[in-house]
């Protein structure tokens, strides 16, 4: 009986684990850096067949402290800019989710926004998340600062 209880608990814990995005390596990848308008948020990359997966680090607000605050953000896996790689693809998808408590009534502001674009191997993209007036926005530029011709899509990862 104890063995059955142990196996059941182990399976339950395994099902609750949060797996973060595992960046690809090699020649067939593009770099991407996420930032925001000083709004904390969680970047995600679409992994076909596995869904959107959160990056290891989340976007943080700019700290108003010294080294101690920077160390705390590092410990919490938060950064003002979050850089990773993604597989080059004609249908790459990225996203950002925002979930923050606000006001004295403890209401929540939430949104998810996703873009699809052609991720070219060797390119470096900048994704900027913007949250203002209860609206989410996400823009994407290439290494030359030009729009990456991305289209907004539903939060789906085919």
109 versus 95: the higher-pLDDT residue is: 95
Q: Measuring CA to CA, which residue among 137, 23, 28, 130 is closest to residue 85?
A: 23
In this structure, are strands 58-59 and 89-102 parallel, antiparallel, or unpaired? unpaired
What pLDDT is stored for residue 65 in this prediction?
A: 66
118 versus 101: the higher-pLDDT residue is: 118
Distances, alpha carbon 109 to alpha carbons 5, 44, 88, 133, 135, in Å: 40, 18, 33, 10, 10
CA gap 47, 53 in Å, rounded: 7
What pLDDT is stored for residue 54 in this prediction?
A: 97
What pLDDT is stored for residue 78 in this prediction?
A: 86
What pLDDT is stored for residue 16 in this prediction?
A: 40
What is the per-residue pLDDT across 14-44, written as a single tens digit (0 to 9) for each? 334 446 899 999 999 999 999 999 999 999 9
What is the per-residue pLDDT across 115-128, written as a single tens digit (0 to 9) for each? 999 999 999 999 99
* Per-residue confidence band for 6, with pLDDT thresholds at 50, 70 and 90: very low
What pLDDT is stored for residue 39 in this prediction?
A: 92
Q: How far apart are the first and last CA of the chain?
A: 42
**In the chain, domain spans:** 19-153
User: 8 by DSSP, 3-state: which?
Assistant: helix
- Is 142's pLDDT higher than 50? yes
The pTM score is 0.81
State how far Cα 25 lies from the chain centre.
18
- Is 136's pLDDT higher than 70? yes
* Per-residue confidence band for 89, with pLDDT thresholds at 50, 70 and 90: very high
């Amino acid at each position: 009986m104890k063995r059955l209880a142990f196996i059941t608990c182990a399976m339950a814990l395994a099902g609750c684990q949060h797996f973060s995005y595992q960046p690809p390596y090699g020649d067939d990848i593009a770099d991407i850096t996420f930032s925001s308008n000083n709004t904390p948020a969680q970047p995600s990359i679409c992994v076909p067949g596995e869904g959107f997966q959160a990056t290891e680090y989340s976007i943080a607000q700019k700290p108003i402290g010294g080294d101690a605050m920077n160390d705390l953000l590092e410990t919490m896996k938060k950064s003002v800019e979050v850089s990773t790689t993604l597989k080059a693809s004609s249908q790459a998808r990225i996203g950002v989710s925002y979930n923050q408590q606000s006001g004295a009534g403890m209401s929540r502001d939430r949104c998810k926004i996703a873009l699809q674009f052609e991720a070219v191997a060797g390119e470096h993209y900048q994704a900027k998340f913007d949250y203002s007036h209860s609206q989410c926005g996400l823009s994407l530029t290439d290494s030359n600062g030009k729009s990456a011709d991305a289209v907004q899509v539903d939060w789906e990862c085919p």
